[in-house]
Structure 1
Amino acid sequence: MKNPGRRSQVCYNPRMSKGLPKVLLVKYHDTNIRPIPDHAERTLQIFPSLGILYLAAVLREEGFPVEVLDANAENLSAQAFHQRVRDSQARIVGFTSMTAGWPSTIEGAGIVREALPEALVVVGGPQLSIHPELCLSFPQLDLGVCGDGEETLLEVARALAGGTSLEEIPGTVVKIDGEIRKNPERTWHRDIDRYPFPAVDLLDWNLYRALTVQTPFYTMVTTRGCPFKCRFCSQIYAGNTVRFRSPENVVDEIELYVRKHGAREIVFFDETFTLNKARVMRICQLIRERGLVFRFDMRTRVDSLDEEMVLALREAGGQRVHFGIESGAQEILDRMGKQTTVDQVRTAVSLCKKHGFSTRGYFMIGYLGETPQTYAETLKVARELDLDWASFSITTPLPQTHLFDEARDLGLVDEGFWRDYTLLQSPRLQFPIIESEYWDEARLQKMLKRAYSSFYLRPRMVWRHLTGLRGWEGLRNLVGGVRVMLSLQR
């Protein structure tokens, strides 16, 4: 086998395909950073990667043969993944990677290098956009794609097909004579209607599931990015701005899934679905005018919807609203830069429940400045809101965030943590937490378990879920939820 680090310049000739080079787009196994075992995590949810389906659609539209392989959804072993990659005979193999999945991505890229030594191995996604040069230092990888990947990967594929140099393509990180170079960024397109719909037909959607979501279901994004500046979040991979698809374009995609694929439910993964009221009202109007019958769930902020919008969403098929509440203590919300209040939280949740929405809240514990009192306030608010579901997580100071910078300046996290993590040099490949005078990591894990049990093991909540059972799917959701709760208590 040839040395994985053999290439001195980024210029290849297509030898493995007589026509256009085949592209294999991969979602490798996720790295589980939640406090539950892998089998319980898989019970909760398995969603496809919309990012690689958008890439597949653009490449296919230009005539390139494309295959999508979701090793995580198929639960492939390393050996099975190796065989599938080798059988593909792809000339380009592309990975997408979140920060949490980076160690797994490098593992998968190593398998690809063994299976297809001559393939061009490309990586994109948020992790690459945050640490481009560090990510590309691995010999398993040949080229990185920063930001939106549609035009960039298409240009890479065209260059490979024509046997021309890949060294100066905008939006890439390349290796030239042993040196890593980041090329100029590619211009962000404001018009994202320009992209074809994701190539959903390249996946077996029976592999995907989520508790409480009806099948068959499909996932969508109608915006890219987020305009808010929460201190624990980074939007560098999306250009630190927000771009909208037109209502007509959004509903065209919905209609495709409902009419052609029989979708019963659509899950919108926009950071904040209800950012623009006029746009949301138009989407709801078009859904009704076209007679599309399905249900959907969405994510939003407590300050980004009103009663008129809630009514329109409900009439169009809205079923479930996910709120990023984060904390029940106003002083913590202020420190997070959420620009929301606890009163707004109560109003928004109450409004949605009033009109028949199922409500879900997401909370962080152990944020900077958290005390036993603010922690207790969060648990109290979570219970008082009468949410149908709640999710709790231990705060993580992610890279390229104000939170990380603040925690670093206070000496609470090591300045080089994310560098070492990206290079797989950390003593343990787990995310950092913020310890304080009140708790260490072990104590935070106990607090997390207590948060879940205090919310879900109340007689009222148990009774609600027992009496809300509807057929086989309801029973499946209940059993799945019980399995997850039991795993949390171990």
Structure 2
Amino acid sequence: YDAPAMMASTDEVARIATEDYAAKLIVIVVYGLQPSASTQNMTAAGDIARKIKDAGVGAKIMMTGTHPAALPFETMRSEAVDFVVDLEGPVTIYKVLKALIEGRDDFANIPSVWWRDGEQVVAPKSAEPLLIDLDTAMPGIAWDLLPMENYRAHNWHCFDHINDRSPYASIHTSLGCPFKCSFCCINAPFGKSSYRTWNPECVIKEIDLLVERYGVKNIKFVDEMFVLNRDHVLSLCNLLKNRDYTVNVWAYARVDTVQDDFLEHLKAAGVNWLCLGIESGSDYVRDGALKKYGNDDIIDVVRRIQNAGIYTIGNYIFGLPDDNVARMQETLDLSLELNCEFANFYSAMAYPGSSLYKMAIERQVELPETWKDYSQHGYNTIPLSNKYCSAAEILEFRDNAFNQYFSHRPYLDMVKNKFGQEVIDHISRMVSVPLSRKLLEKQTAA
């Protein structure tokens, strides 16, 4: 049951879980299609768990996902759950469910599950190995159980057809990431930097189903790093190209993984957008975040992607540990120079499972009061402060950068030339809605 897609309240989700099923085990999956989404979903997930528990049903409650895996003890201690999975979920969920069905309580023998012995929280004795053969272990998704008609693509993903954002689907072709960016929590459910792929033949079967049964045209490859493994990328691109589908795909890449011979194949396969983690306009700041490439490299890659007929999204982060106002300005300046077809501007946040979270805890840096306040766009959000800038300064810079970018005349001229006046009007409406920020209201009042 996809609660956000159904726009269901926590009361409704709890009612469905307790009344519509005679479950032995209710699993609350706290994931998101961005790794950072898991933490901000914890507030709603915890509310659902409490309401299920208060209903007095006999089912046990489990949480799995990026945030629970990053903070298993804290999740057991603070949430109304019986189990937490501290690594990858599928095998552990199966083993716990099998034990419950068979009337066993030997949870100490199940790897990677935290459980309760009375009031005591018990840690697992061992870790469940990561799945190796993804094709066999997780060969597909039960699309028929999902509200496919409720999904729609990002606005920019459909700049070529802004009023035609559905049907839409997002799929994985790989799991994990081999890199160790300081701000990222992607590998929390895997326990280490890792990278595993589905066979392209397995992936294309899923795409066939999405296109032929559900009429999906807009697709996101959720992989944290799709443009990485040569054989994987080119094989899947060739399969898509041979299908002759009219699909509109977007995927993630790194500046240092984009190769010229990839681009022609990506475009021919329907990959119309590549999202790059540029992060900062300062070499010094990027080095500190473990992204060691220069501005010239970034500019060159963006231009090569655009010259191949593929649109770019630049991701930028303000307030990384080595950032100051001048370096944040370098980031904004670089974004304006690059003039990507779209840009995402973030404040640095200490997401559980990331190196920044460990650093913030060690240094006792102020963090958001509730999990939902880790949302980038929330009223109560508190970015990670550093030795140069307060959280309020970083947040204000980020919000101003967003408005400046999407009001920048060269950007608007480029968008109008490529996508037309309708997209310009859409962007104008987007920028006209200001974000309310408690932190900035306090600063103004002071």
Give your verdict on TM over 0.5.
Answer: yes
1:255 and 1:292 in contact (8 A); partners too: no
SS of 2:273 mapped into structure 1: strand
Superposition pairs of residues 389-468 of structure 1, within 5 angstroms:
389-407=342-360, 411=363, 413=365, 430-437=381-388, 439-468=389-418
Does residue 1:93 correspond to 2:26, yes or no?
Answer: yes
Aligned: 1:201 with 2:144: yes
The equivalent position to 1:286 in structure 2, one of 239, 242, 261, is 239
Conserved in 2, the CA contact under 8 Å of 1:147 and 1:237? yes
User: Gaps spanning 5+ residues in structure 1: where?
Assistant: 1-67
Residue 110 of structure 2 corresponds to: 169
Label 1:351 to 1:166 Cα distance change in 2 as closer, same or farther (>3 A).
farther
1:177 aligned partner, one-letter code: G
Alignment partners' CA distance in 1, 2:56 and 2:22 = 8
- Quickly say closer, same or farther: Cα 1:155–1:404, change in 2 above 3 A: closer
Pair 175,489 (structure 1): closer, same or farther in 2 beyond 3 Å:
closer
Give the equivalent residue in structure 2 for 1:127.
Answer: 67
CA distance in 1, matches of 2:95, 2:251: 34
Closer/same/farther in 2, CA of residues 290 and 469 from structure 1, 3 Å limit: closer
Q: Does 1:372 align with 2:305?
A: no
AA in 2 matched with 1:230: C
Summarize the Cα distance change of 1:456–1:192 in structure 2 as closer, same or farther, 3 Å threshold.
same
Q: Is the 8 A contact 2:280 2:331 kept in 1?
A: yes
SS in 2 for 1:303: coil
Secondary structure of 1:206's aligned partner: helix
User: In the alignment, what sits opposite 2:190?
Assistant: 238
Q: Name the structure 1 match of 2:35.
A: none
Higher relative contact order (CA 8 A, sep 6+): 1
**Change beyond 3 A, Cα 1:332–1:459:** same
Is 1:83 the counterpart of 2:15? The answer is: yes
Change (3 A) 1:112 1:198: same
Structure 2 contact 69–188 (Cα < 8 Å) conserved: yes
Aligned counterparts of 1:139 and 1:433: Cα–Cα separation in 2: 25
Aligned to 1:190: 132
Report the Cα distance in structure 2 between the residues aligned to 1:116 and 1:204, rounded to whole angstroms: 29
RMSD of aligned Cα (Å): 2.5
Instruction: Quote how far apart the aligned CAs of 1:400 are.
Output: 4.1
1:156 aligns with 2:96: yes
1:344 to 281, 293, 297: 297
* Aligned mates of 1:160, 1:408 — CA distance in 2: 37
**Cα deviation code 1:1-58 (max 9, x no counterpart):** xxxxxxxxxxxxxxxxxxxxxxxxxxxxxxxxxxxxxxxxxxxxxxxxxxxxxxxxxx
Aligned residue pair count: 409
Give the deviation of 1:431 after TM superposition.
4.9
Structure 1 76/479 Cα, relative in aligned 2: closer, same or farther at 3 Å? farther
Contact 2:11–2:48 (CA under 8 A) maintained in structure 1:
no
2:380 and 2:118 map into 1 onto residues whose CA distance is 31
Pairs within 5 Å for 1:274-313: 274-313=227-266
Q: CA deviation at 1:271?
A: 0.7
On the 8 A contact 1:364/1:392 being kept in 2, the answer is yes
SS in 1 for 2:121: strand
1:250/1:239 CA distance change after superposition, 3 Å: farther
Contact in 1 for aligned 2:18/2:57 (Cα 8 Å): no
Alignment counterpart, residue 229 of structure 1, candidates 180, 186, 193:
180
Q: Is 1:324 the counterpart of 2:277 in the alignment?
A: yes
* C-alpha deviation, 1:99, in angstroms: 1.9
2:251·2:273 contact (CA, 8 Å) conserved in 1? yes
The corresponding residue for 2:442 is none
Identity rate, percent: 23
Cα distance change of structure 1 residues 294 and 400 upon mapping to structure 2, 3 Å threshold: closer
Question: Are 1:95 and 1:124, in contact at CA under 8 Å, matched by a contact in 2?
Answer: yes
Q: Match of 2:433, SS? A: helix
Q: Distance in 2 between matches of 1:432 and 1:377?
A: 19
Partner of 2:162: none
Q: 1:391: Cα distance to partner? A: 0.8
Does structure 1 retain, via aligned residues, the 8 Å contact 2:383–2:391? no
Cα separation, 2, equivalents of 1:95 and 1:478: 40
* Partner in structure 2 of residue 60 of structure 1: none
Question: Aligned equivalents of 2:433 and 2:355: distance in 1?
Answer: 33
Aligned-partner Cα distance in 2 for 1:408–1:150: 30
Task: Please list, as runs of the form range in 1=range in 2, the aligned pairs for 1:262-281 lying within 5 A after superposition.
Answer: 262-281=215-234
The answer for unaligned runs of 5 or more in structure 2 is 31-37, 159-164, 374-378, 437-446
Deviations 1:189-210 (A, max 9, x none): 2221121201111111222222
In the aligned structure 1, how far is the partner of 2:48 from the partner of 2:302?
A: 42
Which residue identity lines up with residue 339 of structure 2 in the other structure? D
Q: 1:480 to 1:93 in 2, by over 3 A?
A: farther
Preserved CA contact (<8 Å) 2:49 2:79: no
Q: Secondary structure at the match of 1:248?
A: helix
1:365: Cα distance to partner? 0.4
Code of the residue aligned with 2:243 in structure 1: it is R
Kept after mapping to 1: 8 A contact 2:10/2:47 = no
Q: Which residue of 2 aligns with 1:386?
A: 339
1:206 aligned partner, one-letter code: E
**Cα drift, residue 86 of structure 1:** 3.5
Q: CA deviation at 1:489?
A: 5.9
CA distance in 2, matches of 1:284, 1:139: 43
1:488 aligned residue: 434
Residue 102 and residue 200 in structure 1: after superposition, are their counterparts in 2 closer, same or farther (change >3 A)?
same
Say whether the 8 Å CA contact 2:151–2:167 is kept in structure 1: no
Cα distance in structure 2, aligned partners of 1:187 and 1:173: 16
Offset at 1:155?
2.0
- Counterpart of 1:362 in 2: which secondary structure? strand
Amino acid at match of 1:170: P
